[in-house]
Amino acid sequence: MAEHEETLVEKVAEEIQGDASSSSSDSDDDKPFHADALKSKVYRLFGREKPIHHVLGAGKPADVFLWRDKKISAGVLGGATALWILFEMLEYHLITLLCHTLILSLAILFLWSNASTFINKSPPNIPEVVLPEKCVLEVASALRIEVNRALDVVRDIASGNDLKKFLGVIVGLWALSLVGNCCNFLTLFYIVFVLLHTVPVFYEIYEDQVDSFSEKAIIEIKKQYAAFDEKVLSKIPKGPLKEKKKD
């Protein structure tokens, strides 16, 4: 009888230990899930869910913008800076540069091809460059899609369907006009090029701090816009297209 009671107690103890171990394992399995859920709740700029490298395309341009290879990134940025100095500071013209470069290249290749028989060296191997039809069609198709998308956005804004988007575009164009008064197109292009090589890499380094600050800023902007919408925008009569959609 005593032995039967001991075995019964041992079985109960084993079952209790099994339940405890299973519950602990379940809690351990739940930890990554809770960690992922908590990580997904962290605010990211523009609502993105992927790293900045994937947002930029996860290819060679993204590697250049994020300085994965410092020599290549520095060379690209240095070349762009040299071109900007050449055209903007020294007032060298693009057509003149292209013509002089072609004259020099053609002269070197022509002299090399004719002098190769006298100096006992092989003539230059000039590759045949042909644009593939498929590549040109793909670029044209992609460009057509983007142009049509831009035209749809312009039409939607001009139709008065989205006042918020209309105000955003107006403010953006006005800011761009102010920048255009301060610098020409080449300088503006160079500024954008430099920003592409500096802002993403700094954002990747200080990602958490920037996201935290931008979250607070966006919350404040939404509060101010809600107040402006209540006091001003809500009192503006709606467009005819918007009223038809409601009907």
Mean pLDDT value of segment 196-220: 86
Percentage of the chain beyond pLDDT 90 is 16
Each residue's pLDDT tens digit, 105-128: 999 988 888 887 777 778 778 888
Percentage of the chain beyond pLDDT 70 is 74
Which ranges constitute the DSSP H helices of the chain?
2-40, 52-55, 60-65, 70-84, 94-115, 133-158, 163-182, 185-205, 207-231, 240-246
Question: Which pLDDT score, from 0 to 100, does residue 60 have?
Answer: 86
Question: Which pLDDT score, from 0 to 100, does residue 74 have?
Answer: 92
* Pairwise CA distance, residues 198 & 142, whole Å: 28
Each residue's pLDDT tens digit, 135-167: 889 999 999 999 999 898 888 888 877 777 888
Q: Per the structure block, which two tokens stand in for 44?
A: 């990211």
Question: Which pLDDT score, from 0 to 100, does residue 80 have?
Answer: 92
Q: Per the structure block, which two tokens stand in for 121?
A: 């060296």
Each residue's pLDDT tens digit, 165-176: 888 888 888 988
Question: Which pLDDT score, from 0 to 100, does residue 166 have?
Answer: 84
* Pairwise CA distance, residues 92 & 103, whole Å: 16
Mean pLDDT value of segment 206-210: 84
* Pairwise CA distance, residues 91 & 19, whole Å: 81
Question: Which pLDDT score, from 0 to 100, does residue 216 have?
Answer: 86
Sorted by sequence, the CB contacts under 8 Å of residue 191 that are 6+ apart come out as 183
Question: Which pLDDT score, from 0 to 100, does residue 72 have?
Answer: 92
Question: Which pLDDT score, from 0 to 100, does residue 140 have?
Answer: 92
Q: What is the mean pLDDT of the chain?
A: 77
Question: Which pLDDT score, from 0 to 100, does residue 7 have?
Answer: 55
Sorted by sequence, the CB contacts under 8 Å of residue 88 that are 6+ apart come out as 184, 186, 187, 190
Question: Which pLDDT score, from 0 to 100, does residue 117 have?
Answer: 74
| pLDDT of 246 above 90 | no
Q: Contact 109/126 with Cβ under 8 angstroms?
A: yes
Mean pLDDT value of segment 79-100: 88
| pLDDT of 179 above 90 | no
Identity of residue 75: G
Q: Per the structure block, which two tokens stand in for 167?
A: 């105000």
Question: Which pLDDT score, from 0 to 100, does residue 32 have?
Answer: 43
Question: Which pLDDT score, from 0 to 100, does residue 106 have?
Answer: 92
Each residue's pLDDT tens digit, 6-49: 455 455 556 555 554 444 444 444 444 444 444 445 666 655 66
Question: Which pLDDT score, from 0 to 100, does residue 244 have?
Answer: 47
User: DSSP of 132-195, one letter per residue?
Assistant: -HHHHHHHHHHHHHHHHHHHHHHHHHHTTS-HHHHHHHHHHHHHHHHHHHHS-HHHHHHHHHHH
Between 177 and 247, whose confidence is greater? 177
